[in-house]
């Protein structure tokens, strides 16, 4: 039996991008029959929306692709750096915040930017914050999150030695 792999997706508010990434990643795991091998969660660097459900625009965009978003917003905690193998940031600002945090709390976690794994992205590409934009922003975000999550999964399975 192989070891559990744990992944935490992080954005600013934990209501738009990271709950979407969490839902999409869970959906892909489900498609591939890999859900039992993973623990997946999301969190925000900020505390403004703690306790709220995902933004209805993220929920709607996910639903059009058959993906259900669950959970309530929470703020990242020091323990998260010890409880997860991978913490995946949506943008550079989230990543800098996580890097500073990690220097303070320590931990063996791997930090990355989600769109490092996007075939249409690159090392510095970000998932833009759609909060103040229109619904098209959410659809674009959905596509980049889906592309990136698929490649991210292949990457960690390969790293784990169980790649397809």
Closest CB 11 distance from ligand 4NP, rounded Å? 4
Per CB under 6 A, 48 contacts ligand 4NP: yes
Between 89 and 109, whose beta carbon lies closer to ligand 4NP? 89
- Rounded Cα gap, residues 80 and 68, in angstroms: 24
Q: What is the DSSP string of 21-83?
A: HHHHHHHHHHHTT-GGGEEEEEEESS-TTTTPPPPHHHHHHHHHTT--------B--TTHHHH
Between 6 and 93, whose beta carbon lies closer to ligand 4NP? 93
Answer for which of 8, 13, 57, 142 binds ligand 4NP (CB under 6 A) is: 13
Query: Which tokens go with 141?
Result: 């975000």
Active-site residues, by number, are 11, 17, 129
Q: Could you tell me if 150 and 65 are in contact, meaning their C-beta atoms sit under 8 angstroms apart?
A: no
Please provide the distance, in angstroms rounded to a whole number, between the alpha carbons at the two ends of the chain.
Answer: 17
Between 15 and 125, whose beta carbon lies closer to ligand 4NP? 15
Per CB under 6 A, 116 contacts ligand 4NP: no
Per CB under 6 A, 88 contacts ligand 4NP: no
Q: Name the site residues for ligand 4NP (rule: CB under 6 A).
A: 11-17, 48-49, 129, 131
């Amino acid at each position: 039996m192989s070891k559990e792999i744990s992944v935490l997706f992080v954005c600013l508010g934990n209501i738009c991008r990271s709950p979407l990434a969490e839902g999409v990643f869970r959906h892909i795991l489900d498609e591939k029959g890999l859900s039992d091998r993973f623990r997946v969660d999301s969190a925000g660097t900020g505390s403004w929306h703690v306790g709220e459900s995902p933004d209805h625009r993220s929920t709607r965009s996910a639903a059009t692709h058959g993906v259900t978003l669950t959970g309530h917003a929470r703020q990242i905690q020091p323990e998260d750096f010890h409880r997860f193998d991978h913490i995946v940031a949506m943008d550079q600002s989230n990543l800098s915040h996580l890097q500073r945090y990690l220097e303070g709390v320590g931990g063996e976690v791997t930090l990355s930017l989600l769109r490092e794994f996007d075939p249409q992205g690159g090392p510095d590409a970000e998932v833009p914050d759609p909060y103040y934009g229109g619904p098209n922003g959410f659809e674009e975000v959905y596509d980049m999150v889906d592309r990136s999550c698929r490649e991210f999964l292949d990457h960690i399975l390969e790293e784990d030695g169980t790649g397809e």
